[in-house]
């Protein structure tokens, strides 16, 4: 499940500006929390359960997206901690989805440059795409 802000995301905007200054060709950046749940195959029940959990979801601020698989989408890199959180309710990763001037998700080389130059601290995190 990806949980994304509906409202302007200052962190994503700051990352966009920094990436551009670092020479990464990107037009737009989206940031999401990636959470993995055991749903028993009932996606609708899972979405209802998350929508009613105020500790992770506020319908005034957030948008839920059920991912078809637990893997980054096109133009997206997941930043995961090398020491996974003990709390099962904590996000599994932070997803950064980057878009080119054309509006299409960026290519792998651009993702690699963004992760290497800004989004991932290899001392404590790993980038997955």
| Structure confidence by residue, pLDDT tens digits, 79-90 | 999 998 887 678
Q: Are strands 62-65 and 28-34 parallel, antiparallel or unpaired?
A: unpaired
DSSP 105: B
Is 5 a residue whose pLDDT tops 80? yes
DSSP output for 18-67: HHHHTT---SEEEEEEE-----TT-HHHHHHHHHT-TTT--TTTEEEE--
* Residue 32 pLDDT level (bands cut at 50, 70, 90): very high
Q: How many domains does the chain have?
A: 1
Residue 106's domain spans which residues?
A: 2-128
CB of 95 closer than 8 Å to CB of 31: yes
Please give the Cα distance from 21 to 89 (Å, whole number): 35
Question: pTM score, two decimals?
Answer: 0.88
> How many Cβ atoms sit within 10 Å of the Cβ of residue 94?
18
């Amino acid at each position: 499940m990806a949980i994304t802000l509906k409202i302007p995301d200052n962190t994503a905007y700051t990352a966009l500006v920094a990436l551009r200054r670092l020479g990464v060709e990107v037009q737009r950046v989206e940031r999401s929390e990636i959470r993995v749940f055991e749903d028993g195959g009932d996606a609708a029940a899972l979405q209802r359960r998350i929508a009613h959990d105020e500790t992770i979801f506020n319908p005034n601020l957030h948008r839920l997206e059920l991912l078809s698989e637990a893997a980054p989408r096109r133009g997206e890199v997941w930043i995961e901690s090398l020491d996974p959180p003990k709390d099962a309710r904590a996000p599994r990763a932070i997803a950064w989805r980057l878009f080119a001037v054309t509006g299409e998700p960026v290519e792998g080389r651009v993702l690699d440059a963004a992760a290497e130059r800004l989004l991932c601290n290899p001392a404590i995190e790993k980038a997955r795409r």
